[in-house]
Structure 1
Amino acid sequence: MESLTSFLPFIAIFAVMYFFMIAPQMKRSKQEKKFASELTRGTRVITKSGMHGKVVEINDKDNSCVIETLAGKIKFDRSAISMEMSNKLNAPAVVK
């Protein structure tokens, strides 16, 4: 019984870390993978480096896409597209 009580703080710390750090990160990772797999032509996106553009071509073989910007067309890996910023860009505007 005494050995169980000595491990109780470690178990509690692990549980707190799981619920506040590991589980939200796993959920976010799943959402990002879903977003990247559901990209379609014509979607306006923002890359993680801050480049704005529109998806013009999607390549499933190497998991990349071509984005058209004002400077021209650039090939990016799908993981380089920011989910949050792209969702904000495509969200309908709220008029106050």
Structure 2
Amino acid sequence: MNGIAFAAGPAGGTGAAGGFASFIPLILIFVVFYFLLIRPQQKQAKQHQKFLSELKKGSRVLTKGGIHAVITDIDGNVLSLEIAKDVVIKASRDAIAGAINKDGTSVAPAGKDGKAAPKTGG
């Protein structure tokens, strides 16, 4: 009879403390993932949504499909983009990847200081 009781676990209240201690590495991994992956991605998505809401006529943009264009008209969520002289296409606001300079280089949406920073490769 005593053999069965010892097989069930140690006597005393250490079972609950041991169970919590086994979750500490899992909790630490989640905290690291949150601060290194989840939080920066949320900040970037929020910044991109702000950029999309501030689009205006005359802005030079790059679509997610790689098309360089100038915004000629905005009708709610639909943008009219001029990709060549007298060639206008319509695209969703969500199809815009970012802004571009006149020389064609990509620019990241504005940061905390309000200035646009050049995108890095990668």
Higher relative contact order (CA 8 A, sep 6+): 1
Matches within 5 A, 1:48-87: 48-60=64-76, 63-70=77-84, 72-83=87-98, 86=100
Q: C-alpha separation between the residues in 2 aligned to 1:13 and 1:47?
A: 36
* Residue 33 (1) aligns with residue 49 (2): yes
Unaligned runs of 5+ in 2: 1-16, 108-115, 117-122
TM-score by length of 1: 0.81
What is residue 32 of structure 2 aligned with on the other side?
16
Identity value in percent: 42
| Aligned positions, number | 88
Give 1:65 deviation, angstroms: 0.6
Unaligned runs of 5+ in 1: 92-96
Q: Please tell me whether Structure 1 or Structure 2 has the larger radius of gyration of its CA atoms.
A: 2
Q: C-alpha separation between the residues in 2 aligned to 1:21 and 1:59?
A: 35
TM-score by length of 2: 0.65
Amino acid in the other structure paired with 2:43: K
Amino acid in the other structure paired with 1:3: G
